[in-house]
Amino acid sequence: MTAPQSLDPALRRIAAEVEAALGDLLPTVEGGEARLCEAMRYATLGGGKRMRAFLVMETAALFSVDRHCAARVAAAVEMIHAYSLIHDDLPAMDDDDMRRGKPSCHRAFDEATAILAGDALQARAFEVLAEPDTHSNAEARIELVQALAHAIGARGMCGGQMIDMLGNRQDLAAEAIARMQALKTGRLIQFSAEAGAMLGRAPLHQRNQLAAYGRDLGAAFQIADDVLDVTATAAEIGKTAGKDIAQGKATLVAVWGVDRARAQAEALATQAAEHLETFGEDANLLRDLAQYVVSRKS
Amino acid sequence: MTAPQSLDPALRRIAAEVEAALGDLLPTVEGGEARLCEAMRYATLGGGKRMRAFLVMETAALFSVDRHCAARVAAAVEMIHAYSLIHDDLPAMDDDDMRRGKPSCHRAFDEATAILAGDALQARAFEVLAEPDTHSNAEARIELVQALAHAIGARGMCGGQMIDMLGNRQDLAAEAIARMQALKTGRLIQFSAEAGAMLGRAPLHQRNQLAAYGRDLGAAFQIADDVLDVTATAAEIGKTAGKDIAQGKATLVAVWGVDRARAQAEALATQAAEHLETFGEDANLLRDLAQYVVSRKS
């Protein structure tokens, strides 16, 4: 962990908070479908940096949103993230045996169970957002549902993964790679940063600023991730290293080289922080996060 | 088509209506993700009896719901149904090469594209429900989202499919098979029958009657489907016939035999129609549908 002193305990505290919320919100392991529930819990609990959850919790705090409500939205986002990792790891997709330092879901269970666990996690995430406990105002809840659905659909996360899969056989230019990454990982990160504004019923200009922050942060994060794929070991990042290159995947590191990619990630992180000006010192942890995502070693 | 004279044109008209809505609501085929959009359209358009869409449209008509709004919900339900068929047909699941008389999605495209098409269809269905065009009242839209999410999650459709997959290796009793089928196909059919009441902001007792109708109809439908799997040809049902037996799947036909299963399906269909008493003649087509699902030959 290379997070700044103030960020580190905040990340840990929020990870613990969202872990507790996930434990409550994921289905209990019982009935004939127990194996499915077990796989959902296996793939979602006990792992990950919870960066998306952190974004939800910290942007919600800017508007003094009830922490219990924010934690439900954070948990929903982490369910979506977990589902996307389960499906991305499948043999027909990236064929990854390791995830978060343990066997990926289809290796720990089987392919059918992994497909269904991802499917059921997506449904549960929307159910959690829709339940009255998430916000007393139905308008706020439906806004969250609509924005999340858009972020993860054909013009969002799924579309990005499709382009990434095709990228194996295509020579993408830097611009096309950036769009692919904006869809594949950027949209959900942007949603997470906007979620606090939606929960807080914030004015549009503030929501837009958080959206811009999330967009730049997501781009910086993804480039930094691709740099780590080249420079880190599997033990450090908890998943198979060097896969992008081995699979001939399109990344900006492949186009630009490590040094230029790293410089670009840092510029994006700086730009992300600049969108937060209106929030003053309240947004310091969000600023620290932007620096952290490009300086982390795992 | 063995539908009664009055039902047949109504089924065709609604199938055409929902086909048009789906055409508008599914993503256009463009961008680097064009292949994904194409697969979503391939698997959703131009096929199926649209029974779930019919249930939404006809129950909505009981409460004079705007047809345009009802068609959006019907389209969302058909997207969910199409996604479930795509994923069920995958090699890791039921491994089916044919669906609705044409190659299944992973055969026409590839496994990765099929997995993503199912995922993106689920997201799009929730997005459609959440969009303001579906209902002017956010409470109605969030109620639809919550009910659908519950119907298709770990304690619904996905849970049922999990039990069905495990059923290959288990000797399930009739009661356990009935629960599996209630989850796997029943919950979504029940949601479709309840959706009209949700759109119409109907009193709870009316919603409950439609839920009971949907529950019995779904059970009758599934038993009739299992009977057809044994008695019909692939050309008639547009998918591989005899698969349940070949895969050693748990069905009530295997437990009871064809005659008793058929009698039970007919009893359930009669019971389904009895829940509609309060709606008088307005519900005649829904009554006809209950008879149709147990008398159809395909």
pLDDT digits (tens, 9 = 90+) for A84-98: 999 999 999 999 999
Identify all chain B residues contacting A146, using CB atoms and an 8 Å cutoff: 127, 130-131
**Are the C-beta atoms of residues A123 and B122 closer than 8 Å to each other?**
yes
* pLDDT surpasses 70 at A277: yes
- What percentage of chain A exceeds 70 in pLDDT? 95
Distances (CA, A) of A51 to A7, A20, A147, A216, A247: 11, 16, 19, 14, 26
User: How many Å apart are CA B76 and CA B124, to the nearest integer?
Assistant: 8
Q: What is the pLDDT of residue A233?
A: 72
Instruction: Report the C-alpha gap between B37 and B269 in whole angstroms.
Output: 38
Chain B residue with CA closest to A120: the answer is: B153
Under 8 Å between Cβ of A268 and A295? no
Whole-number average pLDDT of chain A: 94
Residues A152 and A144: their CA atoms lie apart, in Å, by 12
Q: Across the interface, do A124 and B153 touch by the CB < 8 Å criterion? A: yes
Who wins on pLDDT, A18 or A168? A18
Helix, strand and coil content of chain A, in percent to the nearest 5, comes to 75, 0, 25
- Report ipTM for this prediction: 0.96
Mean per-residue pLDDT, A39-64: 96
Beta bridge partners of A99: A102
A6 vs A284: which has the higher pLDDT? A284
Selected residue of A145, A164, A170, A201 to mutate for chain B interface (largest B Cβ count, 10 A): A145
Q: Which residues of A touch B159 (CB under 8 A)?
A: 31-33, 36, 120
Alpha-carbon span A7 to A289, nearest angstrom: 7
Angle at B61 between CA B58 and CA B63, to 5 degrees: 130
Write the pLDDT tens digit of every residue in A208-266. Answer: 999 999 999 999 999 999 999 899 876 676 766 677 777 777 789 988 999 999 999 99
Instruction: Give the pLDDT of residue A254.
Output: 87
Q: Is the pLDDT of residue A1 over 50?
A: no
pTM to 2 decimals?
0.96
**Looking at CA atoms only, how far is residue B175 from chain A in angstroms?**
12
Q: Quote the CA–CA distance of A288 and A293 in Å, as a whole number.
A: 9
Domain A7-295 has CATH 1.10.600.10: yes
Q: What is the pLDDT of residues A52-69, one digit of tens each?
A: 999 999 999 999 999 999
Q: Which among B122, B149, B165 is the nearest to A127, CB-wise?
A: B149
What pLDDT does residue A88 have?
Answer: 98
Secondary structure letter of residue A104 according to DSSP: -
Distances (CA, A) of A64 to A17, A276, B231: 17, 17, 63
Instruction: Inspect the interface and report whether the beta carbons of B165 and A113 lie closer than 8 Å.
Output: yes
**Which of the four pLDDT bands, split at 50, 70 and 90, describes residue A168?**
low
**Using an 8 Å Cβ cutoff, are B168 and B248 in contact?**
yes
Pairing type for strands B102-103 and B98-99 reads antiparallel
Q: How far is B67 from chain A (nearest CA, A)?
A: 22
Verify whether the Cβ–Cβ distance B150 to A127 is below 8 Å: yes
Q: Give the one of A83, A120, A159 whose C-beta lies nearest to B36's C-beta.
A: A159
The distance of B253 to chain A (nearest Cα, Å) reads 20
So what's the pLDDT on residue B249? 79
Q: Tell me how far the alpha carbon of residue A247 is from its chain's centroid.
A: 22
A vs B, Cβ pairs < 8 A, gives 172
Strand segments (E) across A27-112? 98-99, 102-103
Domain ranges, ordered by start, for chain B: 7-295
Taking Cα atoms as reference points, which of B188, B194, B195 lies closest to residue B70? B195
What is d(CA A32, CA B160) in angstroms, rounded to the nearest whole number?
8
Q: Is the pLDDT of residue A119 over 90?
A: yes
Nearest chain A residue (CA) to B30: A155
Neighboring chain A residues of B42 at a CB cutoff of 8 Å: none
Check residue A47 and give its pLDDT: 82
Query: Which residue stretches of chain B have pLDDT < 50?
Result: 1
The minimal CB distance from A145 to the residues B122, B126, B160 is found for B126
Q: Which residues of B touch A160 (CB under 8 A)?
A: 33
